[in-house]
Chain A
Amino acid sequence: MQRSLDLDDIQGNVTRAYGRYAFPFSRSFFLNIQDCGKGRQFVDAVRKKVTTSATWTEATKPRCTVNIGFTFFGLYKLLVPQRTLRDMPEEFISGMRDRAFLLGDRDPGKTEAEAKGWDAHWDPIWQQNRIGDGDIGNDNVHIWVSFNAQLKELGKAEPVDELEKECQWLRDLCDHLAGGVRIIPHNGRAGDQEYQEGSVLFVQRGDKLIPTPNEHFGFTDAIGDPVFRGQLSDAEAKDAVIGTGKWMNAKTGWQPIEPGEFVLGHPDESQELPPIARPPEFMTNGTFMSYRKLHQNVGSFEAVVAEEARTYAKLQAIDEPEARETLRAKMCGRWSDGVPLAQAPTYAEWQAMSEKLGFNVADPVQALWNKLNYIRSPEASNFRYADDMLGYKTPLGAHIRRMNTRDYMDPLNQTGIDPATGCQFANPNATHGLNKRRRILRRGLPYGPPPGAEKTDETEQGVAMISMCASLQRQFEFVQQQWIQYGLDFHQGNDTCPMLGNHHQHKRFSIQSDPASGKPPFIMSKLRTFVECRGGDYFFVPSLTSLRMMAMGIIDPT
């Protein structure tokens, strides 16, 4: 019998993307520890409220969740033994600012001297982070505390009252600790916000505000999170794993990914235990998290798509609205409502599919419901790329193809046209071999102006992106560096991800075309950087056991 994960010991945000469990609001607080004793008191107080991964019913489901994570210097401030700290992964010790070069946040086309001031556009809280480790007078981020709250009432964009109550509890706790642990109130562009807010986007429908699964460019987001063994009950996992686990072969089908890819202390996809610091209890059932505030330049995105669409419309002999929608879909790999290009490669097919799925019905609540049902169904995730090695349907450099390569990278795949069928090779035996060690859990939410407000490059909107994985270096950083900011694995040379990539130097995105269509391929060549990091850091998200050990100060690495 397969041993299940100890869900009571794992923090709840590791196994659940709260947004999908009807928690549309979040607040992220960042705190600084000045005094180790007070820090331990703080951890002890918070750990008793932490939401775990334990199964909940509608009756026991919390109205507002509480979770916590620590930067390397947070652990250092809590006097976690040096022997334990020294076993920590180097990227976690270095922190996100130090890794800016490989994450694409610092222009790799500049030397260190030329790049001086590269973080000037970061939010003040992150600009001032990781400056020395002295006790007094710095605002280094040591702790991340996050609350996720349910909706108060359908039709209004308001969280339940418990959210503010929990925030007040946190403030009171810090007041009680008299500066030993304090909230750093420098969030936001101007550095004047106490916390980083997150909220799904609402749209006005009549007199109602309806929550949507969209992000600011207008795409449906948060669809294909990986499913791992032990995360869900067998009954839930059966369907959930389709398109989101790993494809083994026709006989075994979709299987959940091994838990060690996401939860430390468990075997991973290499059939090994990922390395952890001593004592084992300190890191087992914990995970690592990358917090990144990603600003979206909505104005630039709309302008570039509109400009490129004019040439594309002429070239393809279609009207500009269709050209715009098609270019957007080709950049993303999904149409704006989440239907993958792999299933509906053309505009006409997409229109037909949206109609069939009921996305355009008159009742906005019903339309939302139809959409949510679809994106949570296996259909939205159950597709592959190995039957489209030439990128005729989903371009080789499209966003979702880079983020989750599925079976595209199987080294035994045949590329080209099958002389027997005249179509691309079907590659029916392709597997997820080189993909399953690069998956991450996405746990963030968008932030931004209220519904209906105008969005430009200057207005503040984006995604408070949270990625969780067992190895930041092997998973998060690899995807960020090799698949977002570089394109060789997709035969794209230096071309970066059309949506998330840094386009200061590399402004191109190739859209392949099926020669049978008689249409030429198209190269977008005027891309600008649409998504910019505004700061962030790496955090360790400990287990409940580990939180208790930290609170008690009894971590014995010997």
Chain B
Amino acid sequence: MADLDSGHIFLTTLAPIKGVNAESGTGISHEQRVRIALAQLPTALQSPATQGIGINSPLARNRRTHLARMFVLSDIVYNGRNPQNPLVATAKGIDPVDPLPIDQLSTAYLVFCADVDAIVNDGDPLPHNLTKAQQKAVRASYARKLWDTMGDELQDIYQNCVGFEGVKTADDFAAYLDKCHVETTMPFHDYYLDLPKFNELNTKLLLGAVLVPAAIAVLSLLLRIFGMLHLPMLGFSTFWTFVVAAVVTVVVALLAIAYALRNGAKPLPPAKHDDLPSVLKGLYVQQTFSDFVIDHQAAEPNELHRAFGDYLARHRPENKMSPTQTPGVISIRAEGGITL
């Protein structure tokens, strides 16, 4: 469930890159070609050098992507021999001179990760929870959006990946990316303005549910050991009370653990103003409003009132879609920094 958290999908996909011998030809491996295609992909206009190039990241052509990253995972890192207790190894007859097998990936992978709004239509509010099918629909909708806005670039990159040959349409790409999808285990979220109500565990209740039958079991056992065959007043057999209470303890404990794990896996609610259009609008308002404040320091009330009215009319803070900061630029002062 960790793909979805705080109203965002933390998408992780791994597409296997074709092997060295899969196709003969130019002497450039597919892994090399993916690296070349990625190197040619422009980054967002977020540093002086990239601003100088002037070509924005194709991922900035949509208003769902908060962050995205594509890279080649060549192989896993070799950490050396597995450490082991020398006494145990000697007893087992393991010769430390014999090399151990080295774990390797069967192929290189193209990894594509993105933090995107968990929505199917631009501007929708962020959801708190989604079923598996709904999450799949969100992923497919995002994949189609990517295909519609950066299909050529995707073609360049993914044509070096296994099984991409048949991908011709947005729907094909959505299906392909879904095959590459792996569940995210550690999403990262950085937007909370106010902390929401987290899925707190009622530990007292859970502990009580386990400890009460456990206490009855222990008590019954002790009474049995000290020779009491029946519980006073109730008259139940101490042995059977012990057995039943012990079974109940184990069952409740297992249920409590399962409940705690499920509670931990629940997605957190989205933060206020957490979707990309709101974030961009927030940046826009922050910049325009601080200029407004500086320009009107020590202004007369009437003038301030009139000017603020003009400000609201011009910048429309209530409309998150426009005017706003363009995705992929560092400030509204950058060239093309404002989307009207």
Contacts and interface: CB of A to CB of B under 8 A. Distances in A.
A108 B48 contact: yes
A109 interface: yes
A523 interface: yes
Interface string B45-78: 0001100100000000000000000000000000
Contact of A311 (B49, B52, B293, B298): B298
A314 B48 contact: no
Interface string A470-514: 000000000000000000000000000000000000001000000
B273 to A, nearest CB: 17
Contacts of B48: 108-111, 114
Contacts of A434: none
Contacts of B298: 311, 314-315
Contacts of A114: 48, 52
The DSSP consensus for interface residues of chain B is helix
A525 interface: yes
Nearest to A510: B290
B82 interface: no
B52 A523 contact: no
B interface residue count range (under 10 / 10 to 19 / 20 to 34 / 35 or more)? under 10
A508 B297 CA distance: 14
Contact of B294 (A111, A314, A525): A525
A523 B49 contact: no
Nearest to A112: B49
Interface in B280-327: 290, 293-294, 297-298
A520 B48 CA distance: 36
Nearest to A523: B294
Interface string A94-125: 00000000000000111110100000000000
A520 B298 CA distance: 9
Interface string A151-166: 0000000000000000
A522 interface: yes
B52 A522 contact: no
A426 B317 CA distance: 35
B49 A111 contact: yes
B337 to A, nearest CB: 14
A188 to B, nearest CB: 32
A109 B293 CA distance: 25
Contacts of A108: 48
Interface in A257-314: 311, 314
Contacts of A109: 48
Interface in A69-100: none
Contacts of A314: 298
The DSSP consensus for interface residues of chain A is loop
Given A314-B298, A315-B298, A111 B52 contact: yes
Nearest to A313: B298
A508 B287 CA distance: 12
A522 B297 contact: yes
Nearest to B287: A493
Contacts of A315: 297-298
A522 B290 CA distance: 11
Nearest to B294: A525
A109 B294 CA distance: 23
Nearest to A308: B297
A221 to B, nearest CB: 30
A523 B298 CA distance: 11
A187 to B, nearest CB: 33
B108 to A, nearest CB: 29
Contacts of B290: 508, 523
A463 to B, nearest CB: 29
Interface string B32-51: 00000000000000001100
B190 to A, nearest CB: 11
A110 B49 CA distance: 7
Contacts of B52: 111, 114
Interface in B249-286: none
A110 B52 CA distance: 9
A525 B48 CA distance: 23
A315 B48 CA distance: 37
B101 to A, nearest CB: 33
A522 B297 CA distance: 8
A419 to B, nearest CB: 16
A111 B50 CA distance: 9
A35 B290 CA distance: 59
Contacts of B294: 508, 523, 525
Contacts of A522: 297
A108 B49 CA distance: 10
A222 to B, nearest CB: 34
Contacts of B293: 523
A84 B293 CA distance: 56
B47 to A, nearest CB: 8
B295 to A, nearest CB: 9
A525 B290 CA distance: 10
Contacts of A508: 290, 294
A108 B46 CA distance: 12
Contacts of A110: 48
Interface in A211-257: none
Contacts of B297: 311, 315, 520, 522-523
Contacts of A520: 297
Interface in B72-105: none
B296 to A, nearest CB: 10
A100 to B, nearest CB: 14
Interface in A383-401: none
B298 to A, nearest CB: 4
A523 B52 CA distance: 31
Nearest to A316: B298
Interface in A304-349: 311, 314-315
A87 B143 CA distance: 47
A523 B286 CA distance: 14
Interface in A434-448: none
A486 to B, nearest CB: 14
Nearest to B293: A523
B177 to A, nearest CB: 34
Interface in B1-60: 48-49, 52
Nearest to B299: A315
A112 B47 CA distance: 11
B13 to A, nearest CB: 31
18 contacts: A108-B48, A109-B48, A110-B48, A111-B48, A111-B52, A112-B49, A114-B48, A114-B52, A314-B298, A315-B297, A315-B298, A508-B294, A520-B297, A522-B297, A523-B290, A523-B293, A523-B294, A523-B297
Given A111-B48, A111-B52, A314-B298, 17 more contacts: A108-B48, A109-B48, A110-B48, A111-B49, A114-B48, A114-B52, A311-B297, A315-B297, A315-B298, A508-B290, A508-B294, A520-B297, A522-B297, A523-B290, A523-B293, A523-B294, A525-B294
**Interchain residue pairs A-B with the least CB separation, the first 4:** A315-B298, A525-B294, A111-B49, A111-B48
Interface of A: 108-112, 114, 311, 314-315, 508, 520, 522-523, 525
